[in-house]
Amino acid sequence: MFNDLYIWGVGAITVCIAVNTIWRLVIERQRFLKEELSDEDRAFVWRIVLFIVLPLVNFLDLRATTICLEGFGGYMKSWSYGLLWYHVVPAGLPNQELIIPVLFAGSAATTIFALCLLPALAFRPHPFLATLIGYSVAFIFALNFVADPILSAFGLGGVRWQVALAAGSPEQRAPLIMVHIVLSVIFLAVMRSVHIRLWFAAMARPHATSQLKQALASLKTDPSSARLLCLVGVLYERAGLQSPAKAQLKKLKTQFPYSPYHHFLEALVSYARRDYKLARKAFIFTSDYPFVNGELKASLLSAAACSAFAENDLIGALNLCERALEFDDGCVVARMVKVDVFLRQGKKEQAGDEIMVAMHMGLDLDLENKIPLQLENAYNMLVAMEETKGVRHILQPTNRF
């Protein structure tokens, strides 16, 4: 009884989240018409995939399994559908060897459905639609080829694999396992391909990808430039390509270990990977370079404050915000992090006072694309710092023997 309550409780929560997602999709539709989606927008796309697309995919899986079972002359002894899951007990099959085609008919149907979505990307749809299609296709393939077999191996997820391996003949089991291994390897290779990911990024994040291609062309003409290596790494990160960004960071660390560009990119990559301790350290290290002052120093210190807040170090975040405001009183990120710290501490009056100060200063309190820092402004200021005479000597490649 407790198990039934748990299952139907999860189903009820799923329905509530799905309804809320559809409602937000309607009332906030203007935010999805932008050419550049924020991280929050992309997180919302994943919410659509999990709570709207997945229930529909599971229903398609269930119907395909039912149709195949009845087509072979069998019937459903029992079945259940809970949006995020379904369960079918087949019976009455004239031949036991038909059990594997029945069990995997739904998986084949959802895979074909995902393949039918892919041609839509050839028409370069709007970034929001491209992101939704891309995430949905990747999720369906990952579910069918990777997650389902692995979860079944540990006794979790659906039961189709357990039933198939127990009831299927050896002549059927070996091809089934080999086909899934081959498909999963192909899927993982495609997902890790830089060319494929760059092609998708050109649709989902067109502005950042366009800048990235220009930076890559410039880097070919000057491959030993710390500034260009950093720029390419930053744009890889903005385009959502974290592995190439990390590769650029390794090049910078090898060729320019004492460059502020190295620590700047390290901070961004670490923050994106949620290694907030390393990100905080790298932001502070970059802010301590000679000639880093004013707005740039405030931006770096406020980014370190964001990292400290994400680490749940409220006192450290507050101290870093105060340091940032010493160099730029109008640093909106530092002020808003202070507001978050005060709210977390239950100091609502101080949080309200901080908001009023920011409003009286005429600051734009919209933090979209400003967390942990306004990337383009910070990078441009870092380039301006490079051009000062005093830091050129630390931007030369190290001698390698």
Note whether 188 and 269 are same-domain residues. no
Note whether 48 and 182 are same-domain residues. yes
Residue 33 lies in a domain: yes
pLDDT band at 225 (very low <50, low <70, confident <90, very high): confident
Query: For residues 306 and 98, what is the distance between their CA atoms, to the nearest angstrom?
Result: 57
Whether the Cβ atoms of residue 42 and residue 131 lie closer than 8 Å to each other: yes
Report the CATH number that the domain containing residue 298 is assigned in CATH. Answer: 1.25.40.10
Q: What was the pLDDT predicted at 393?
A: 44
Residue 107 lies in a domain: yes
Number of domains into which the chain is organized: 2
Residue 27 lies in a domain: yes
Most confident of 143-152, 191-200, 387-396: 191-200
Alpha helices in 118-259 (DSSP H): 127-142, 148-153, 160-167, 170-192, 194-204, 206-221, 226-238, 242-255
Paired sense of beta strands 86-91 and 75-81, if any = antiparallel
Which residues have C-beta within 8 Å of that of residue 84, sequence separation ≥ 6? 10, 11, 14, 54, 55, 58
**DSSP 8-state code for residue 205:** S
Residue 348 lies in a domain: yes
Going by C-alpha positions, the residue among 265, 288, 294, 261 that lies closest to residue 278 is: 265
Note whether 50 and 176 are same-domain residues. yes
Note whether 177 and 294 are same-domain residues. no
Note whether 317 and 183 are same-domain residues. no
Which residues have C-beta within 8 Å of that of residue 96, sequence separation ≥ 6? 167, 169
Note whether 26 and 118 are same-domain residues. yes
Q: What was the pLDDT predicted at 156?
A: 64
Note whether 265 and 185 are same-domain residues. no
Convert the pLDDT of each residue in 75-97 to its tens digit. 888 887 888 888 788 888 888 77
Residue 214 lies in a domain: no
Cis-peptide, bond into residue 94, ω within 30° of zero: no
Q: What was the pLDDT predicted at 400?
A: 32
Domain span at 263: 256-395
Of 89-93, 142-146, 161-165, the range with the lowest mean pLDDT is 161-165
Note whether 390 and 280 are same-domain residues. yes
Reply yes or no on whether the pLDDT at 5 is more than 80: no
Whether the Cβ atoms of residue 71 and residue 44 lie closer than 8 Å to each other: no
pLDDT band at 399 (very low <50, low <70, confident <90, very high): very low
Q: What was the pLDDT predicted at 397?
A: 39
Note whether 163 and 312 are same-domain residues. no
Which residue did the predictor score with more confidence, 135 or 363?
A: 135
Backbone angles phi, psi at 93, to 5 degrees: -70, 135
pLDDT band at 3 (very low <50, low <70, confident <90, very high): low
Q: What was the pLDDT predicted at 303?
A: 94
HSE-CB for 358 with a 13 A CA cutoff? 21
HSE-CB for 127 with a 13 A CA cutoff? 20
